[in-house]
């Protein structure tokens, strides 16, 4: 049901009603959460930019990419992103952090729990689906092309 409440309040209400444990990052409109799927655990962040009317949800890969593997993992992530409609993988080449990001411009008057749910759970499903492929590329067990085919075949 749409509401006139601030976006951040709607996000807090969603995660509370969906039984998530979370903490608010001090002096920020950002929540820190954890997700545990069958392929691993990742830290997540739900960030709101009220003035810009934006909601951004990040899931952070539990492994950092070693410096020597960043180019090949970057290729893998670009291959994934090419087929994505909602969201994308990011790789910080300076520290090896990988995250998946979903975001939307939000009209607070038409914001619903389903809108939030779609952004959050799409994000988590993508991290869950591609995390095994990320690990295969980092370990050198598969090329980016092979890992992409493997992870997309598993999803079917």
3-state DSSP helix/strand/coil % of the chain, to nearest 5: 45, 25, 30
Domains in the chain: boundaries = 7-155
Tens digit of pLDDT for each residue in 7-38?
Answer: 999 999 999 999 999 999 999 999 999 999 99
Residues 90-136: tens digit of each pLDDT: 999 999 999 999 999 998 888 899 999 999 999 999 999 999 999 99
- Top-level CATH class of 7-155? alpha beta
Residues constituting the chain? 156
Q: Residue 89 pairs with which residues in a beta bridge?
A: 100
pLDDT at 2 over 60: no
Asked if 37 and 128 touch (Cβ cutoff 8 Å), the reply is yes
Cα–chain center distance at 154: 20
Average pLDDT (57-77) is: 98
């Amino acid at each position: 049901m749409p509401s006139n409440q601030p976006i951040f309040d709607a996000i807090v209400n969603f995660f509370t009603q969906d039984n998530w444990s979370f903490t608010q990052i001090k002096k920020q409109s950002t929540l820190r959460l954890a997700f545990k799927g069958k392929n691993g655990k990742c830290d997540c962040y739900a960030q709101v930019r009220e003035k810009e009317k934006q909601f951004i949800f990040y899931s952070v890969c539990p492994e950092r990419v070693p410096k020597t593997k960043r180019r090949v993992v970057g290729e893998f992530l670009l291959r994934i992103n090419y087929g994505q409609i909602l969201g994308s993988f990011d790789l910080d080449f300076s520290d090896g952090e990988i995250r998946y990001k979903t975001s939307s411009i939000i009209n607070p008057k038409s914001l619903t729990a389903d809108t939030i749910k779609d952004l959050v759970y799409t994000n988590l499903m993508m991290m869950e689906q591609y995390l095994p492929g990320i690990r295969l590329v980092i370990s050198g067990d598969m090329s980016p092309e092979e890992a992409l085919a493997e992870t997309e075949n598993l999803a079917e």
